Amino acid sequence: MAEALGRSIYRARENSQVSGIRITSNLDSLTHQQFVDDTMLYGLSNLGEARAFKQILDSYSMASRQEINPAKSEVFFFNTKLSIQKEICGILNFNLANLPCKYLGLPSDKGSGSSNMWDGVVEKIKSRVAILKGKWLSFAGKATLVKSVLVVVPIYQLSCFNLPQSKKEILNRHLRSFFWQGAEEKKRISLMAWDKICRPKSARGIGIKDIKV
């Protein structure tokens, strides 16, 4: 059905119902991008184009019996009068949105070398550590939680962006603190270097994945 939606948009472009946006002169205009159930539409900021997209989406909904969620649908404008923005949002029944934003859970306003984009990941780990610290756990239990819960938090963002060295140290510090300190409020001495903890069990480690790696 998603493929059918894409073909409907291509047909609308061929029939000059939608224009899309032209990135380079030697390529066709860009009208949409699709990723699983997420679709991004590109078009000119005029009422005719908005109505054409609305008609395509309505036809898709009728054919597929899938409903578009207006609460999760947004429109981004560039160099467009506010009155036109409101009319287009009214036609599509989508929310007016502003940049920066997140797309597929990742920030769209930061460069790959930005350190601030990792603040959200650090806060997620800190919040989970705060919850888990309230429970009395053995070293085996804490190792399991570190490996299965805490270390996996940054993996999705790491698939797209490099993690700065400063953030690597901060994240590893929270993991070390949870592993050694556990439920106690006072700090405990680390009995083994973290790089040894992260070695595989065959090398006398615990097998925790080092975030640096």
Mean pLDDT by 10 residues, the chain (213 residues): 90 92 85 87 93 95 91 92 94 89 72 73 85 73 85 86 86 84 65 84 84 77
Sign of the Cα torsion 195, 200, 206, 209 reads positive
Helix, strand, or coil here: 14? helix
Q: How far apart are CA 213 and CA 209, in angstroms?
A: 7
Tell me what pLDDT residue 58 has.
95
Amino acid at 118: W
> Considering the entire predicted model, what is its pTM?
0.62
Amino acid at 62: M
Tell me what pLDDT residue 182 has.
64
Number of helices (H), then strands (E), in the chain: 8, 6
Tell me what pLDDT residue 112 has.
54
Amino acid at 123: E
Q: How far apart are CA 3 and CA 155, in angstroms?
A: 29
Residues in the chain: 213
Tell me what pLDDT residue 28 has.
83
Tell me what pLDDT residue 135 has.
63
